Amino acid sequence: RKLNRNSSEVTEFILLGFRTASDIQIISFLFFLLVYMVIVVGNISMIIVIRMDSRLHTPMYFFLRNLSYLDLCYSTVIAPKALATFLSKDKKISYNGRAAQFFSFALCVGTEGFLLAVMAYDRFSAICSPFLYPVRMSQQVCVHLVIGSYICGGINSMVQTGFTFSLRFCVENRLDHFCDVPALIKISCVDRSVNEMVLFILSSLIIVTTSVILVSYAYILSTVLKIPSIHGRGKTSTCSPHITLVSLFYETVFFMYAQPGAISSPEKSKIIAVFYTLIIPMLNPLIYSLRNKEVKNAVKRVLLRKVSFH
Per DSSP, the residues of 99-146 read HHHHHHHHHHHHHHHHHHHHHHHHHHHHHH-TTTHHHHT-HHHHHHHH
CA atoms within 13 A on the CB side of 220: 25
* 44: pLDDT strictly greater than 50: yes
* 309: pLDDT strictly greater than 60: no
213, 114 in Cβ contact below 8 A?
Answer: no
Q: What angle do CA 10, 28, 290 make, to 5 degrees?
A: 115
Least Cα distance to 112 among 69, 171, 163, 62 occurs for 69
* 179: pLDDT strictly greater than 50: yes
Q: Torsion over CA of 110, 113, 115 and 118, rounded to 10 degrees?
A: -140
Distance CA(115)–CA(136), nearest Å, equals 16
* 5: pLDDT strictly greater than 50: no
Q: What mean pLDDT do residues 181-208 have? A: 77
Q: Return the higher-pLDDT residue of 224 and 161.
A: 161
Least Cα distance to 276 among 91, 93, 74 occurs for 74
Least Cα distance to 101 among 265, 267, 277 occurs for 277
Q: Torsion over CA of 272, 276, 277 and 280, rounded to 10 degrees?
A: 140
Task: Give the pLDDT band of residue 1 (cuts 50, 70, 90).
Answer: very low
Which range among 7-16, 96-105, 192-201 shows the weakest confidence by mean pLDDT? 7-16
Least Cα distance to 12 among 174, 162, 177 occurs for 174
Q: What mean pLDDT do residues 146-157 have? A: 93
Q: Return the higher-pLDDT residue of 42 and 301.
A: 42
**pLDDT tens-digit series, residues 75-125:** 898 888 888 877 777 778 888 888 888 899 889 988 988 898 898 888 888
Residues with Cβ within 8 Å of residue 41, at least 6 apart in sequence:
none
Q: What mean pLDDT do residues 266-272 have? A: 69
* pLDDT reported for residue 278: 83
Distance CA(269)–CA(278), nearest Å, equals 14
